[in-house]
Amino acid sequence: MQIQSEMMGDENRRMVRNMVREFADKHIRPYVMEWDEAQIFPVDTFKAMGQLGIMGVLVPEVYGGAGLGYHEYVDIIVEVAKVCGSVGLSLAAHNSLCTGHILTFGNETQKQRWLPKLATADWIGAWALTEANTGSDALGMGTTAVLDGDEYVVNGSKNWITHGKSGDIAVVMVRTGEKNRSLGVSTLVIEKGTPGFTHGKKENKLGMRASETTELVFDNCRVPKENLLGEEGEGFKQAMKVLDGGRISIAALALGIAKGAFEAATKYAKERHQFGQPIASFQGISFKLADMATEIEAAELLIRQACELKNLGKDVTKNSAMAKYYASEVSVRCATEAVQIFGGYGYTKDFPVEKYYRDSKLCTIGEGTSEIQKLVIAREVLK
């Protein structure tokens, strides 16, 4: 079964959720710890998700995508992240960043060239903004692209790039003008196999270990001029717009992890007996569950509000930052409390909550730290 854009009502959203839940239970859950321990990026699983239509959730059907909206997109990420944060993260990065950037800013020729491959996961996508010395300070990037005839010559490197090794295509922000000026940044699409384009070391991470993170390296890499997205100097503005939507997906990722941790903790609290009764009957435990449930509900409402605005084509900068900031912090709190409810067992790899605990932290860092989200929110409310 492949999802299509006719599925827009409540009943059809339920069908999509059930389909993704069944896929995750059958094709992801049995391998979660194996992938995590060995840091395996399960390319074949993503190809299978491409066949379902969930690697091109927001891409119109004319380009081979599912043509769905942000509510369905959040539903899909949540169901995957409840089972495995790593797979949820890679799903979000592929859809929102690489594919989303080309969908939003590519011309018709570029869309027809790349979107059908991305929407079906025939190609896995990467998106490259961050560098070793420029995290939040993206305008200080050192990777340069100099126009030479009909080609850009790219030199430099990017860090913390999801799918940097296994990706078939990367959307890369490069400096074509002055450093520390937004008009000095442009966007190039670079395909795997382009001479001078390689990957560097793979990061050995605390969590999200099955989501591949590597360096990208450019050494006199020659990229055709027609691979420029939009105009020269628009790259930073494009990246910020892409991140507005991407933050909704990271908020959804955080929500899925929080829900997974909460469900595991609730089940355990009902089953685990101490002093002759389930530990859920003790106020110390039940109040933890009450706080988790309340914060999860509040996070979801912020996310849904951002989804609604995004679907309507309205400005979503403040709302997506609020959703991402709050949901990611809730995710960490819920995962922490889940480990506490499990006690000593929560600290072992025999139970699922230690992985939620490790995975949740990335949500407060990736696609803009919590501190950057607060900066964005403050700027918006003080306008």
* Catalytic sites, residue numbers: 367
CA distance 118 to 103: 10
- Where residue 313 falls (left for φ over 0; alpha for ψ -120 to 50; beta otherwise) is left
- Look at residues 223, 8, 3 and name the one whose alpha carbon lies nearest to residue 119: 3
Question: What kind and span of H or E run contains 147?
Answer: strand 144-148
CA distance 123 to 362: 25
Those residues whose C-beta lies under 8 Å from the C-beta of residue 83, and which sit 6 or more positions away, are 24, 25, 28, 29, 32, 260
CA distance 23 to 269: 27
Amino acid residing at 71: H
Question: What kind and span of H or E run contains 217?
Answer: strand 213-224
State CA 248 to chain mean position distance: 9
- Look at residues 112, 128, 125, 367 and name the one whose alpha carbon lies nearest to residue 251: 367
CA distance 210 to 38: 8
CB atoms within 10 A of CB 354: 19
Q: Contact 264/353 with Cβ under 8 angstroms?
A: yes
Please report, for residues 31, 122, 365, the alpha-carbon distance to residue 173 in angstroms, rounded to integers and kept in the order given: 34, 23, 20
Amino acid residing at 49: M
Q: Contact 12/76 with Cβ under 8 angstroms?
A: no
CB burial of residue 137 (10 Å; 0-12, 13-18, 19+) = exposed
Question: What kind and span of H or E run contains 127?
Answer: strand 125-128
Q: How far apart are the first and last CA of the chain?
A: 47
CB atoms within 10 A of CB 77: 30
Question: What kind and span of H or E run contains 144?
Answer: strand 144-148
The phi and psi torsions of 228 (rounded to 5 degrees) equal -75, 130
